[in-house]
Structure 1
Amino acid sequence: MKRLFLAAACALAFAAPAVQVEAWGNTGHRLIGMAAVRALPDDLPAFLRTPEAAAEVGELSREPDRWKGAGQPHDRERDTAHFVDMDDEGRIMTDKGMSIDALPRLKSEYDAALQAAGISVNDAGYLPYAIMDGWQQLVRDFAYIRVLTAQAARETDPGKKAWYLADLRRREALTLRDLGVLSHYIGDGSQPHHTTIHYNGWGDYPNPEGFTNSRQTHGQFEGSFASRVASLQAVEAGMTAPALDGFDLRRRTAAYLKTTLAEVLPFYRLEKAGGFRDVDGRPDPRGAAFTVARLSAGASELRDLTVLAWRASAGASIGWPAVKVAEVEAGTTDPWLSMIGED
């Protein structure tokens, strides 16, 4: 994200020190990652379906915010992955920008189209591509896990078997890390301010309802307010039923971000009505419900995309020379040269 805020400490099943972060803050990102992993179905790999994996993904969900401060070009390139600023009609930045429903296949094409429209990519953000890239990486991780798991179980050569098992452990660790990174960007996509030109107060736009222009609104909502009202149990209770049919990555990503964009106006109306203030020393329940619903939306989407990545991995080809995952799982192809590397 392009704005820094101070988030309160998270206390879920453990305590963690308060640090300066971006996006939802420690609490929100941890909760999204943990709730999603805890909701994974039994047909996903067993290493994911443990309390330790849920806690690990929760921690790793904060990684893209913790990367910040490495210097340039690192920061400039990655900061803009946390958001996509759409106008009220779902177009990138202005009416000259493309619709979120018309995202080009490549980020380079997206960049070129924005530049041709006189829009800075750094101002617009590229969150859709961060989500899509993260999902595709998870598919690759799962494909390797399928191959390594299948071949380690049938390998009779002790040296090869030991290598397969060691590489499987490496890939499991990488998968948790990559799932955490995907969790972060999906979490960013569930926060209305990450999808709108009205990200720091309503801004210099027509404002007939008199919404706030306070530049503190964004940070207070996603950080201190969220940390006070959200809990793992509440986020899990608010998660929706899986939606896994008719999957298309670009369409799914656009629909997810449009759904969040539709919450921008309700947020500002609720803020104007005092929904993010305290009532008798306690957070207003209207604001609490709104916040938890957004976190639950992020957790639901992460759960679904993880399941869809696992399913997609069955049809992948990996390694070099490439081998088909399905053939290795069926026992008709030996993947040794593809896995160890043929120079």
Structure 2
Amino acid sequence: MRPVVRLSAAVAAIGLAMIPAVAASWGNTGHRLIGVLAIQGLPTEVPAFLRTAQVAQDMGEFAREPDRSKGAGRVHDHNRDPAHFVDIDDEGRVLGGPVFAEMQPTRQEYEKALQAAGTDSWKAGYLQYSTIDAYQQLVHDFGYWRVLTAAEKTAKGKQRAWIKADKVRREKLLLANLGNLAHYVGDGSQPLHTTTHYNGWGDYPNPKGYTTERIHSPFEGEFVAGAVTMNGVRAQMKPFADCNCPIDKRVLGYLAKTQTYVEPLYQMWGEGNFRPGSTKGAEFATERLAAGASELRDLIVLAWRDSAKTKVGWPAVTVADVEAGKADPWTALLGKD
């Protein structure tokens, strides 16, 4: 289970406008920055309701929600805590079990593969699945929004009033669901969320003598709080990139790249580059947060594009047919008992 870092009462009172100066951990400052900057970086092809200053501010907070919900209860926490990480070992396997790059189609099959190696997803984590899950939910939310938008143009009377109200509900739900994606993408940009060496090198072969100190919180907490600024992260964001590949391949590639930063992080720690005032350490943390913000922005755009090809409602209707005026979505939206 990963360390939970909480804001002090004084820090919690600071508004979004003060983000560059906020003294909190990656779990708060970093997730806020990723959520805000991803929204600010969205292109005009994404619906206008998502590209506002208010939504950017809200996403900064929604992006923290999977951490803020911790402590709700034993069942809640036990089920959700492993969604924030995946423990990839030095051989590219998940805790000595399945090869990370060879993703099982479902969590059930992933669980079987881990249990065959004497472990389970509660110990190993399942960040790759929680990220894909959140992405697919966003695609579906966008699909509903597309259908509701198209239906609103032609519906009349009580049907139009219901559709208009449901579109408002969908937008609110979409933002909350997007917050989950924002959080897990953010977790995926932090190298210590993608490794068995998540809090010190641990009881593993250590020929290079990396530290066994508990470095997780000091790195993403005290150091990042004093070293990272919004403008610095924004300046390091990459242009939009589409791998033209399935979402599982994209997510695996993203997490695998993050995992390559584990040893550099430990090397830099040993060299003292994560002490206050270190320029090299600040550049490292800034680049990692920028990678998270860039990836989140890109996944939002790709989810919007994928939503044009999905189906929604019951009985299901194709989004493309509704937008083309070939199908009436009323029954699908209201639901057939």
Instruction: Output aligned runs, 1:143-222, within 5 Å.
Output: 143-155=143-155, 157-215=156-214, 217-222=215-220
Whether the 8 Å contact between 1:24 and 1:187 is mirrored in structure 2 is no
Separation of aligned partners in 1, 2:198 and 2:69: 22
Q: TM-score, normalised by structure 2?
A: 0.94
Whether the 8 Å contact between 1:7 and 1:227 is mirrored in structure 2 is no
Letter in 1 for 2:132: M
Correspondence for 2:121:
121
SS in 2 for 1:211: coil
Correspondence for 1:318:
312
Instruction: Output aligned runs, 1:76-95, within 5 Å.
Output: 76-94=78-96
SS in 2 for 1:251: helix
Superposed displacement of residue 20, structure 1: 12
Separation of aligned partners in 2, 1:20 and 1:30: 12
Q: CA RMSD in A?
A: 2.0
Separation of aligned partners in 2, 1:158 and 1:20: 52
Separation of aligned partners in 1, 2:272 and 2:178: 36
Superposed displacement of residue 194, structure 1: 0.3
Instruction: Output aligned runs, 1:51-130, within 5 Å.
Output: 51-94=53-96, 97-130=97-130
* Alpha-carbon spacing, 1:128–1:98, altered in 2? closer, same or farther (3 Å): same
Whether the 8 Å contact between 1:90 and 1:261 is mirrored in structure 2 is no
Superposed displacement of residue 310, structure 1: 0.5
Alignment gaps of 5+ in structure 2: none
Residue by residue over 1:226-266, the C-alpha shift from the partner in whole angstroms, topping out at 9 and shown as x without a partner, is 12222222111111111113221111111111101000000
In the alignment, which of 318, 327, 330 is matched to residue 324 of structure 2? 330
Separation of aligned partners in 2, 1:12 and 1:114: 43
Alignment gaps of 5+ in structure 1: none
Larger mean CA deviation between 65-74 and 104-113 belongs to 65-74
Separation of aligned partners in 2, 1:20 and 1:198: 26
Whether the 8 Å contact between 1:80 and 1:122 is mirrored in structure 2 is yes
Letter in 1 for 2:230: L
Total equivalences in the alignment = 333
Whether the 8 Å contact between 1:4 and 1:20 is mirrored in structure 2 is no
Q: TM-score, normalised by structure 1?
A: 0.93
Larger mean CA deviation between 284-293 and 5-14 belongs to 5-14
Instruction: Output aligned runs, 1:34-53, within 5 Å.
Output: 34-53=36-55
Correspondence for 1:240:
238
In the alignment, which of 228, 231, 241 is matched to residue 230 of structure 1? 228
Letter in 2 for 1:80: P
Whether the 8 Å contact between 1:24 and 1:188 is mirrored in structure 2 is no
Separation of aligned partners in 2, 1:61 and 1:12: 15
In the alignment, which of 253, 256, 266 is matched to residue 255 of structure 1? 253
Separation of aligned partners in 1, 2:283 and 2:71: 34
Residue by residue over 1:85-123, the C-alpha shift from the partner in whole angstroms, topping out at 9 and shown as x without a partner, is 0112321012xx111111110001101110011123211
Superposed displacement of residue 6, structure 1: 4.4
Correspondence for 1:277:
275
Residue by residue over 1:176-218, the C-alpha shift from the partner in whole angstroms, topping out at 9 and shown as x without a partner, is 1111110100100100000001011111112222211111x11
- 1:301 maps to 2:295: yes
Whether the 8 Å contact between 1:127 and 1:189 is mirrored in structure 2 is yes
Superposed displacement of residue 15, structure 1: 4.8
Superposed displacement of residue 154, structure 1: 2.3
Superposed displacement of residue 31, structure 1: 0.4
Correspondence for 2:135:
135
Superposed displacement of residue 7, structure 1: 5.3
Whether the 8 Å contact between 1:270 and 1:276 is mirrored in structure 2 is yes
